[in-house]
A and B are shown apart, each in its own frame.
Chain A
Amino acid sequence: MIKKSIVAIIIGLFVSLFNLGTVTAKVPDTAPINGIYDEARILDSRFINYIEKLNTQLQNTDRKIQVGIVTVESLNNESIERFALNIARKWKIGYSQSNHGLLFVVAIKDRKMRLEISDQLSTIFTDGEANLYLEIVKPYYRIQDYSNGTLKLIETIANEKLIPHSKNETIIYHKKQTSTLGNFIKFSISVIFISIIIAIFFKRRGGRGGRGGDYLFTTMAILDALSSSKSNNSHNSGRWSGGGFSGGGSSGSW
């Protein structure tokens, strides 16, 4: 009985240790606006500008991919796989519409790196390919040219895997833009129509001695609520709102 209890306690401790979901290095729990956390201070302004431009460019493609970069001095004995997965999940890399997210993590003192790929993105960017791409940075990292190495890696991945080159995808994107415009027109007509009905209803009630003067206020409040919900939705689409990371990607060392 005692033996069983001891075994249960050991298993319990092991499981709770195994399930620790905390990021041990001081990486923020939410994604920085530009998607870059450079604790190791190895990235120059050229790289940062490139990632900012790349994320803007990728947001406007049909694939809607988002890229995050994290550099740390040390992993503090945590595995890079668990470390990268925790950040990718906490940062919600990708967009809610696509769940296409990519995270590159490098730990300088541990000489370890990882490309973490979301489930959706892994349909066009496999673990095997990620492993091949990691070879690109090794010659740079060995001479401690971290910024250029990381730039070369992300540039190559972006050009070969992330930025769509086929005309079809651009056409799909433009079609979606048109349909968004169509939806907006439909939405505006519906709002005007509903407002007119409400206005007529309250005006009639007002004629019978009700509080008819409120109809304008009510209509304005509904319009305001509808328009704010619309603008909130469009604002959310630009945030870090993706997910669907399940440990896909590849790790390497140099």
Chain B
Amino acid sequence: MKKTSIIISVIVGVILLVFLMFSGTYNSLNASRHDVENAYAKIETQLQRRYDLIPNLVNVTKGYMEHESEIFTKIAESRNLVSAAKTQNEKIAANMQLDSAISRLLVIHENYPTLKSDVQAQQLMAELAGTENRIQVARTDYNDVANVYNKKISAFPNVMFAGAFGFSKAELYQAVSEAKTVPNVNLKP
């Protein structure tokens, strides 16, 4: 009788220990996943801010930059792709395309002195440049927390059950060379 109760106690103890270990690891991974989701949500906020800024900016600048119809077409197409994107990967790809078009617009606007003297256009350009910088910072912050999370789920013993609990690897952002430079917006010609 005494022997049986010792065996049962040991089994219960081991089960409890394993449960505590699993729950501790699960909570830690879950917290990391929340950090990643939170960081991604911050990127989405800034991307939405940029998405909303574009129509106003295009309306104000289009008249000054008549010879740049190609870039405005590309912006419109990329913006449509962003709005049509359903999955996370589609959104990332569409926004990367929009990054490229916006960067080009911010660079070439310097060649239009009349545009540079329009205060409203310049303010919108500055807002857009600020948003581009925020997006870049949000992506870097996202990569930082995603790296921590990816390391956690691939470390032993977490790797044994991370997949079973639905902890999949977080994709990292790869900076587009054009998007690395934040364009300056100078008001005076």
Contact = CB atoms under 8 A, between A and B. Distances in A.
Do A and B come from the same complex? yes
Interface of A: 11, 14-15, 18-19, 79, 81, 85, 126-132, 135, 138, 246-253
A253 B186 contact: yes
A18 B123 contact: no
Given A128-B124, A249-B130, A138 B185 contact: no
Interface in B16-71: 42, 46
A246 B134 contact: yes
A81 B182 contact: yes
Contact residues on B (Cβ < 8 Å of other chain), bracket: 20 to 34
Of listed B122, B140, B141, B180, residue having the most chain A CB within 10 A: B140
Contacts of A138: 188
Contacts of B133: 81, 247-249
B153 interface: no
B127 A79 contact: no
A132 B123 contact: yes
A251 B126 CA distance: 9
Nearest to B123: A128
Of listed A79, A129, A251, residue having the most chain B CB within 10 A: A251
A252 B186 CA distance: 7
B85 interface: no
A173 B2 CA distance: 71
A131 B187 contact: yes
B187 A135 contact: yes
A40 B185 CA distance: 25
Contact of A131 (B46, B126, B172, B182): B126
B186 A248 contact: no
B29 to A, nearest CB: 22
Contacts of A135: 187-188
A128 B126 CA distance: 5
A31 B27 CA distance: 35
Given A247-B134, A248-B134, A127 B126 contact: yes
